[in-house]
Amino acid sequence: MSLNRTISWTAATRDMRNDRTFVAPAANLAERIAREEARKEGIRLYSEAKAALAVAKSRPLFSALGYDRSAIMVLANAIAREECAAVLGRSHRALIGAAMKQAWAMARAARLAAAH
């Protein structure tokens, strides 16, 4: 057995080129139509989520009696919905957790701003 190894650079680069992922173009008209419909649906969901977020932000998050937990939860749901429509790959649990933290921070900031 030889201690020296010979490498065929032509074969190595050919193998590396073949290992790359190949993204195939749309196979037919039906697939292109389905992709376009999915894109439009995503845009519609995102715009609906943005509108719901604007409505939720308009509600007061606190009163003289304390924090309005219902308004905070509505705001957190709207934030999570907007994030879910904008970003793929995150679980609902992670989204709602981050949204709750953000909603409570907004409520505290609004209460502090009103106090001063």
pLDDT tens digits, one per residue of 43-84: 999 999 999 999 999 999 988 889 999 999 999 999 999 988
Q: What is the mean pLDDT of the chain?
A: 86
CA–CA dist 87, 15 (Å, integer): 35
**Tokens describing residue 43:** 């845009």
Sorted by sequence, the CB contacts under 8 Å of residue 50 that are 6+ apart come out as 82
92 touches 84 (CB < 8 A): yes
Q: What is the mean pLDDT of residues 30-53?
A: 90
Place of tokens 């139509």: 33
CA–CA dist 71, 55 (Å, integer): 10
User: What is residue 24's predicted lDDT score, i.e. its pLDDT?
Assistant: 66
Q: Does residue 4 surpass a pLDDT of 80?
A: no
